[in-house]
């Protein structure tokens, strides 16, 4: 399978490879994030209208692949890879939805996991929309009249809804995802441990350098002190 066909990314590649990798990413790191949140805090934050809209969009995106599959089944079927793609897309959005809800409701600091996933979902959705739009144009012009005109239209319409919802969700998740006033953002234990380990490593490095400087000065001989040659190893330490 060529990566580019007539200047566009093949739909099969987008549905299987790109969405598959994106799903694997949010599934692995999303479950890791959920585990950390559940172990970290029990704080409860009420939902705002903005957050309710965000959750509603995520629910829509989780239901949209199943709706597409149902339409294809009723209208005569489609390729097997599309059904498989719709299944793991639904799973991906459900995991992402759980992370979004838990992070906000427990006032946990926003993670890079959801932001990376939302941005990558936007990029893949844009590629999918471009591909389906080109397939629709080819179908209208008669260049590719293979009986899949209805399938392409269904995929195109659902892709438009998906791209719009993902765009809004990515913007909200990046710029409008703050904890309401009166609640303090929580830092998870594993994040605290990482910062503490970095701080401890830095303190140990400074203490070790100071100890080595003191050892060099104490062990310097008379000739070394007279010629100031003992300064060379000290300067190397910084």
Residues 79-119: tens digit of each pLDDT? 888 888 899 899 999 999 998 888 888 777 777 888 889 99
Least trusted range by pLDDT, from 72-86, 186-200, 209-223: 186-200
Band (236; pLDDT cuts 50, 70, 90)? low
Burial of 22 (0-12, 13-18, 19+ CB in 10 A): buried
Domain co-membership, 51 together with 169: yes
Q: Which helix (H) or strand (E) holds 153?
A: helix 149-175
Domain co-membership, 131 together with 61: yes
Please indicate whether residue 183 or residue 13 has the higher confidence score (pLDDT).
Answer: 13
CB 6: neighbour CB atoms within 10 A?
A: 12
Closest of 3, 4, 19 to residue 126, by C-alpha? 19
Band (77; pLDDT cuts 50, 70, 90)? confident
Q: Looking at residue 193, what is its pLDDT?
A: 43
- Domain holding 206, by residue range, is 189-237
Instruction: Evaluate whether residue 124 is within a structural domain.
Output: yes
Domain co-membership, 115 together with 214: no
Instruction: Evaluate whether residue 220 is within a structural domain.
Output: yes
If one counts the domains in the chain, the total is 2
* Residue 135, token pair as written in the block: 């397939």
pLDDT digits (tens, 9 = 90+) for 158-171: 999 999 999 998 88
Instruction: Evaluate whether residue 5 is within a structural domain.
Output: no
């Amino acid at each position: 399978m060529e990566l580019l066909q007539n200047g566009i990314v093949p739909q099969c590649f987008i549905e299987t490879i790109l969405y598959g990798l994106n799903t694997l990413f949010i599934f692995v790191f999303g479950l890791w994030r959920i585990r950390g949140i559940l172990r970290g805090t029990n704080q409860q934050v009420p939902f705002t209208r903005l957050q309710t809209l965000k959750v509603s969009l995520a629910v829509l995106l989780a239901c949209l692949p199943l709706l597409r599959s149902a339409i294809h089944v009723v209208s005569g079927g489609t390729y097997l890879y599309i059904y498989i793609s719709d299944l793991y897309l639904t799973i991906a959005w459900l995991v992402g939805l759980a992370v979004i809800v838990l992070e906000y409701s427990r006032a946990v600091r926003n993670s890079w996991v959801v932001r990376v996933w939302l941005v990558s979902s936007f990029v893949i959705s844009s590629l999918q929309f471009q591909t389906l739009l080109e397939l629709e144009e080819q179908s209208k012009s008669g260049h590719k009249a293979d009986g899949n005109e209805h399938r392409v239209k269904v995929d195109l319409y659902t892709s438009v809804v998906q791209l719009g919802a993902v765009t809004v969700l990515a913007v909200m998740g990046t710029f409008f995802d703050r904890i309401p006033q009166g609640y303090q953002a929580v830092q998870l234990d594993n994040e605290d441990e990482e910062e503490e380990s970095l701080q401890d490593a830095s303190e140990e490095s400074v203490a070790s350098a100071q100890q080595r400087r003191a050892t060099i000065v104490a062990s310097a001989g008379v000739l070394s002190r007279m010629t100031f040659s003992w300064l060379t190893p000290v300067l190397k330490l910084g």
